[in-house]
A and B are shown apart, each in its own frame.
Chain A
Amino acid sequence: MLLDEFFAPRILVVSGKGGVGKTTVSAALALLAARHGRKVCVAEVDRKGTLARLLGGRELTYEPNELLPGVWGLNIMPEEALGEYLRVQYHMRRISRAFTSTHFVDYITTAAPGLKDILVLGKIWYLEQGRGTHHRFDTIVVDAPAAGHMKNFLSAPAGLSDAVQVGPIRRQAEWLRAMLTDPARSRIHLVTLAEEMPVTETLETVTAVRDEVGLSTGTVFANAVYSDLLTRDEEKTFARLADSKEWSSFAAAGKSAGVKLDDEDVQALAGYHDFLEARRAIQTSHLRKLKREVQEPVAVLPFLFSAGLELPDIETLADVVEMRIDEQ
């Protein structure tokens, strides 16, 4: 697939179960788009998260600010989105703090479930339309709520149209619905781990957002997958040496290259090999199930051997994402 095609819809929604690396993938997609000359905005929704740290450290606010050259970020808080909505829609200049207090927002979003999501999606619509901002973004990456809430989040416009029969908000909900269901404008990418629960949830989410919400589904990213270590022949050699306890041949091979290996070292080498293979065996079976049951292309992203992700790791992931898109 051409990169231009991947980035053709301006809005990329990224979602998945908690802890699978949604934010990491969102950051990598943003970097990739920026590398290819797009002006990118990446949006975090209703939380103080890790996105800012991954992309250089500036804290995210409701106003987009530039985190890296070409990459802008913002945090969409429902309270502030309501404030902006009232200013834009009702031309209210001075908004009483009561209107944007947590209790009022809680009240109004309870009275009309889905309104919170509408406010957040509404901000994305403002960004897409270039309203309330002097920026014109080519790509808007939405680091969306966890998959459990995803269906509600995306179907809020449809749900609200039923609950609220008249008025401007109903019309606006329909605009949002149009934005989400137009494949030329929005596409959703899902992130998962090659583990049982995340895969099961991904299969459910992908069907729900595609068939029930009517969104265009893009790629399913299988994150943190261990890469192959040994070739099949090497695996056989390893098994033979391990089974016959011929560790001495490793020590000898090491010695010839000037590497001193004692028994404990060799045990560690074998142990980490076995650990990797045990994890890989689990991942492989889930990955197979995912690829078999999902219609969308599956892009495998590598496990990065660094527990605290930072910008260089995101750069690496962006490289891989580019390769994977190219292969599709």
Chain B
Amino acid sequence: MNPIAELVAKKRIIVCAGSGGVGKTTTAAAIALQAALMGKRAAVLTIDPARRLASSLGLKELTNDPVRIPQRKFSSAGLEANGELHAAMLDTKTTFDNVVLRYAPTREQARRIIANRFYRNISGTLSGTQEYMAMEKLYELHSEGDYDLIVIDTPPTRNALDFLDAPRRMTDFFESRVLRWFLIPYMKAGGGFMRVANVAAGTFLRLVKRIVGAEVLDDTAEFFGNLEGMYDGFKQRARDVARLLQSDATSFVVITSPAEDSVTEAAFFASRLNESGLPFGGLVVNRVHPKLGDGIEVRPRQLDRLEKGDATGRLLAKLLDNESAFMRVVELEEKNLDSLARRIPRHLWVRVPYLEREAVDFPGLASVAQQLFAESGGNVSARYRTPRPKPRS
């Protein structure tokens, strides 16, 4: 059975991970679409501000709250959805605000945090925030959204591994000894950093002030001050999210292309999932060049004779040349994929060939899903037909 279809049937959450430019978002959407066709109430949550996904779903834009894709989209593509397809795009700031509202002891404290400048910067720039909030949003949809399946793609980090470390990096940041070491004396001293007794921390504070200014220090001190008493809530939630991701309900699907870098990263990522106790469920290899035939042997001398021959001969020479160029790519891709097979067994793979069309509209997305969920995961044969020019009327 197709390993991804098996996941769609059994799991509640599918996390799509992989390096940039390998078709993560499209694959995630195609998986959710397939789930809807299979009668599930499915949602795709995208992290990437991908407007193409919105337009391929027939929406003007995606928002933090899931929107249902109308049934007529399916019927216009000649499909019948027994289930539902919903789509949302992560809004980091709004999600973070909701977290603050949930854990702040009073609304007033929440309001102070949300108005704080340092806090506003965090949701825009602190590395790991987006990943952390993606997990938060996922948890929220899972526990409150009543979905049979949620498919999420991961942020466009260049290195997919960053994604696994990011949430921890973010919680560590809040509890960082370095920060507390110099901020707590500052806060205790009522903001007067000159009065800080700790000499080293004093040097530190003076330096920070010189680099970014005193106001920034005040903002930070206020932020961390307001955060006191909320850490336990954060930590509990982080534990809940971690437990959900490690549970039987969840599966990670790694997306790759047959390119060397991408394959190396995919193998490494799968082993990291393993180490972190996160359930790896399957591999999608996108953009595979088709292998047609077993390669044609031609000697340079023969090619030369063809080129010097008649029109058909010259045409044939070009076609032979083209075939051998593609076979070189196919062989290299096979080599890369063979090395991947030593890390991830092939029965967990689905190979998706280069498609004749891009997934720019709903039928396009549906044809990606069709390729992805073809009966045999391992060998999808592709038929490529040249679009012939239509006769002019």
Contact = CB atoms under 8 A, between A and B. Distances in A.
**Chain A complexes with chain B:** yes
Contacts of B200: 96
Nearest to A116: B125
- Max chain A Cβ within 10 angstroms of own Cβ: one of B51, B319, B382: B319
Contacts of A276: 322, 326
A197 interface: yes
B5 to A, nearest CB: 27
A169 B211 contact: yes
A19 B20 contact: yes
Contacts of B121: 110-113
Contact of B306 (A19, A253, A274): A253
Contacts of A267: 292-293
Interface in A46-100: 47, 49-50, 86, 90, 96, 98-99
Given A103-B173, A106-B173, A259 B21 contact: no
Contact of A307 (B169, B181, B332, B386): B332
B191 to A, nearest CB: 15
B309 A103 contact: no
Contacts of B144: none
- Max chain A Cβ within 10 angstroms of own Cβ: one of B176, B178, B210: B178
Interface in B328-387: 328-329, 332-333, 336, 354, 356-358, 360, 382-387
A103 B21 contact: no
B49 to A, nearest CB: 8
A interface, over-half SS: helix
B310 interface: yes
B interface, over-half SS: helix
Given A19-B20, A307-B333, A103 B179 contact: yes
Given A234-B315, A257-B305, A307 B329 contact: yes
Interface string B282-315: 0000000110111010110011011001111111
A68 to B, nearest CB: 20
A98 B179 CA distance: 10
A308 B328 CA distance: 11
A230 interface: yes
A165 interface: yes
Contact of B292 (A49, A107, A169, A272): A272
- Max chain A Cβ within 10 angstroms of own Cβ: one of B51, B177, B293, B360: B293
A237 B357 CA distance: 25
A216 B208 CA distance: 34
A259 B259 contact: no
A60 to B, nearest CB: 15
Contact of A108 (B208, B298, B388): B208
Interface stretch (A127-135, A182-190, A277-285, A292-300): A277-285
Given A167-B213, A169-B212, A250-B316, A101 B306 contact: no
A9 interface: no
A268 B220 contact: no
A4 to B, nearest CB: 34
Contact of A259 (B20, B52, B296, B385): B296
B248 interface: no
Contacts of A230: 315, 318
Contacts of B332: 306-308
A259 B302 contact: yes
Nearest to B20: A18
Contacts of A146: 20, 156, 158
Nearest to B129: A110
Contacts of B125: 109-110, 113-114, 116
Contact of A50 (B177, B261, B333): B261
B13 to A, nearest CB: 25
B261 A168 contact: no
Interface string B171-203: 011001111010000000000000000001000
B211 A272 contact: no
A107 B173 contact: yes
Interface in A243-289: 249-250, 253-254, 256-259, 261, 264-265, 267-279, 281-282
A98 B122 CA distance: 21
Contact of A272 (B178, B213, B313, B323): B323
B329 A111 contact: no
A196 B259 contact: no
Contacts of A104: 178-179
Interface string A138-174: 0000000010100000000000000011111100000
Interface in B202-228: 204, 207-208, 210-213, 216-217, 219-220
B80 interface: no
B306 A268 contact: no
A241 B386 CA distance: 13
A195 interface: yes
A268 B357 contact: no
A308 B260 contact: yes
B118 interface: yes
B311 A196 contact: no
A139 B289 CA distance: 37
- Max chain A Cβ within 10 angstroms of own Cβ: one of B118, B213, B333, B360: B213
Interface string A115-128: 11000000000000
A17 interface: yes
Nearest to A228: B318
Given A234-B311, A276-B322, A168 B159 contact: no
Contact of B387 (A98, A112, A148, A281): A281
B124 interface: yes
B142 to A, nearest CB: 28
Interface in B131-167: 156, 158-159
Cβ-closest 5 pairs across A and B: A19-B21, A18-B20, A268-B293, A307-B332, A305-B325
Interface of A: 17-20, 47, 49-50, 86, 90, 96, 98-99, 101-104, 106-116, 146, 148, 164-169, 195-197, 200, 229-230, 233-234, 237-239, 241, 249-250, 253-254, 256-259, 261, 264-265, 267-279, 281-282, 305-308
Given A114-B125, A271-B292, 12 more contacts: A101-B178, A103-B178, A106-B173, A111-B220, A113-B121, A146-B156, A167-B213, A197-B52, A200-B52, A229-B319, A256-B309, A307-B332
